[in-house]
Chains A and B, each alone.
Chain A
Amino acid sequence: MIERVHSIGRGAYELLRRPLAHAFDSEQNPLNYLGALTIFFCWIVLVSGVWLLIFFRTSVSDAFESVEYLTHEQWYLGGVMRSLHRYASDALIITILLHVVKEFIFNRYRLNRWFNWVTGIPLVWMIFALGITGYWLVWDELAQFVAISTAELLDALPIFTDSMAGNFMSDELLSDRFFTLMAFIHLIGLPIFLVFGIWLHVFRLNGPRINPPRRMMAAALLCMLVLSAIYPAISHEQANLAMTPQLLRFDWFYLHVYPLVQRWSPGSVWMLLVGISVVLTIAPWAPPARKTTVAVVDLDNCNGCRRCADDCPFGAIEMVPRSDGTNYTHQAEVDDELCISCGICVGACPTATPFRSKSALIPGIDLPNHSAADIRQQIVGQAIVATSSEPRVMVFGCRDDRQTERVRKAGANVVTVRCMAHLQPSYLDFVLSRDKADAIMLLGCEDGNCNYRLGAEWTEARIARERDPRLRKRTDTTKIAMGWVTPWSNIVDPVKRLDAFCNALLNRDGET
């Protein structure tokens, strides 16, 4: 059932992914940085909010006037800041939504990822609470509607004895202290919890992507600035509690539940919101349960170099004092709860080399059901015998990426690994130096969107000989194509990409 939902979701996601894959290089594709983009939009909201705070006055009569001053009198800066504040807040709802949907449909919320998933849910509530209290502070007709509807929602909870909404029935019932309270919640209370929540959301990750690439940040900021300049955010008429606003320019990003409050009962809306949150919270444990075998340390081959611990994207490996009495000071220890069985630790292990001829291929750390020896066996099995002048290209594909199957069906010789970084660089040397193929294409995950977060990044660094274990110098890197890196990433279809690589090899051989 849930796999069917994932499948439908992936189909819908494809409608967005394809045009963006054509428009962006993988390192500039916003779909690969949705969480980081959300944080970047938060920064824009924070900086613009500080400027608004300087001029904002927290009283019933002055709140609207101070926002109007910023919008019209100080349009060149205050107006732009207000619009930036508004539009960046809206933009981050889009990135959050896509972030959640993407993690869900690609099944990245189960196993040890439940923590990031579950801690993200209160963040969404906080973001909405921030947006709603922000609209409240403007104290125009929209704020009046939001205030009354929110009070009606809160009245449905068994918290207040008197009706909170009753306070918004006439101007004389509303006090300035109320604005002070709202300003405190919006400017101090919620942001503190939000910062803590973001930290909690990512702290279990190794090397979380907090910031998108600089060029993407510049593009996002420019996008928001242009929108602010062309279509500045403005207020409605000042709130007047003797009147009911009739037709409102409505921010559907934040206020979409309010029409439901009007049409259903507030209690029903709470049931819907809480129900969605509960379903999302328990989703990581929903059937079918997918058990995985975790990485296993072999002390006879572990020298405690800590490369596996450094490369693990989920912080599942800890270096602990040696327990076997050898001269090494430390040994790797795998936390079963955190290990997701991506194999990146195996790719980082210097002992996971296929060149062993006498001893069995047992590295210091390995996946029991997709071992380093299995990969070597696959390579040997897929070794291509030269039959024509066509270049022999061996393809390495990720187990969970659909490109792998697509290329295999097209007739390519494919070796499957868990993640590109599961492949220790010496395997590439092994393929080329032992003449198993003329060249190698590493498919990776679609658009460089690594299923295990850091696989593409580590693979690039290892092949560029910038990160241990490094590719041997004798290996000709021009014979290795990484499918998610330009120019190959420009070709969206993996089969055409492989053909293009073969043609490039042919042309190069022709020239030489």
Chain B
Amino acid sequence: MKMLGEVAAWAFFAVVVGVLSVWPRYEIIDRGNAIVSLTFSHAAERVGECRMLTQEELNKLPPNMRKPSDCPRERHPVRIELRSADVVLYEDLLLPSGIWSDGKANIYRRIVVPAGEHDLSIGMNDSGGASGFDFEAADRVDLHAGRNLVIRFDEQSQEFLIR
């Protein structure tokens, strides 16, 4: 009788382990949806123009610090807007990283959209302007359910890649 109890207890333990290791199933996105992933790092324009130092100013500096130009470190925030036709899917103002706000602005977002055809357009302003975009891209994409479409900004070609 005791033996039966032991077997039953261990069997119950095995069932708990077996069941909870696979069940209940977890649904990450609803069926019928797709994902648009927006991910890139971009260094915006600096907030001010560089100024050439005069010879007099240079002479005042220690020899190892005599750079001919004086540039402000701080960068503008990056404004982005992602649309599907007229619907804004995502918009944000990305602050530059770093203590002196002189680093890259980073974005990583996964946006759930209904599967189907989308007229996607993305715009990015990195020069501090209140309106308009410095970089834009648009594409008509057919997103089937479960598709992960990635939008990146390629620093070399200075353009958005929608894949």
Contact = CB atoms under 8 A, between A and B. Distances in A.
A475 B2 CA distance: 32
Contact of A246 (B5, B16, B17, B27): B27
Contacts of A245: 28, 146
A227 B2 contact: no
Interface stretch (B18-26, B46-54, B58-66, B127-135): B18-26
Contacts of A226: 14
A23 B5 contact: yes
A420 to B, nearest CB: 24
- Interface residues of chain B: helix, strand, loop or mixed (majority): mixed
A169 B39 contact: yes
Given A94-B13, A165-B39, A223-B13, A249 B148 contact: no
B25 A250 contact: yes
A22 B1 CA distance: 10
Interface string A224-258: 10110011010000000111111111111101001
Contacts, number: 126
A152 B106 contact: no
B147 A246 contact: no
Interface stretch (A155-163, A372-380, A444-452): A155-163
B100 interface: no
Contact of B104 (A161, A223, A241, A253): A161
A252 B26 CA distance: 10
Contacts of B22: 249-251
B35 A244 contact: yes
B6 interface: yes
Contacts of B152: 169
Contacts of B23: 249-250
B146 A250 contact: no
A262 B28 CA distance: 8
Contact of B14 (A23, A224, A251, A259): A224
A230 B145 CA distance: 34
Contacts of B2: 23-25, 490
Interface in A381-422: none
Contacts of B137: none
Contact of B146 (A22, A223, A244): A244
Interface stretch (A42-50, A83-91, A114-122, A182-190): A83-91
B65 to A, nearest CB: 26
Chain A: number of interface residues, binned into ranges: 35 or more
Contacts of B146: 243-246
Interface residues of B, number: 42
Contacts of B29: 244, 246
A145 interface: yes
Contact of A169 (B10, B37, B104): B37
A244 B34 contact: yes
A220 interface: yes
Contacts of A169: 37, 39, 148, 150, 152
B10 A251 contact: no
Contact of B147 (A166, A223, A244): A244
Contact of A163 (B18, B41, B163): B41
A269 interface: no
Contacts of B25: 247-250
Nearest to B22: A249
A112 interface: no
A247 B37 CA distance: 19
A24 B104 contact: no
Given A231-B18, A244-B148, A258-B26, 20 more contacts: A19-B9, A23-B8, A24-B2, A25-B2, A87-B14, A87-B21, A90-B20, A94-B13, A94-B16, A161-B103, A162-B104, A163-B106, A165-B39, A169-B148, A233-B21, A246-B146, A247-B25, A249-B25, A251-B20, A252-B20
* 8 pairs of A and B residues whose beta carbons are closest in the complex: A23-B5, A166-B39, A163-B108, A250-B26, A249-B22, A227-B14, A169-B150, A223-B10
23 contacts: A90-B20, A94-B13, A94-B17, A162-B41, A162-B104, A163-B106, A163-B107, A166-B41, A169-B148, A170-B150, A226-B14, A227-B14, A227-B18, A242-B148, A244-B147, A246-B29, A247-B28, A248-B28, A250-B24, A251-B21, A251-B22, A253-B20, A262-B28
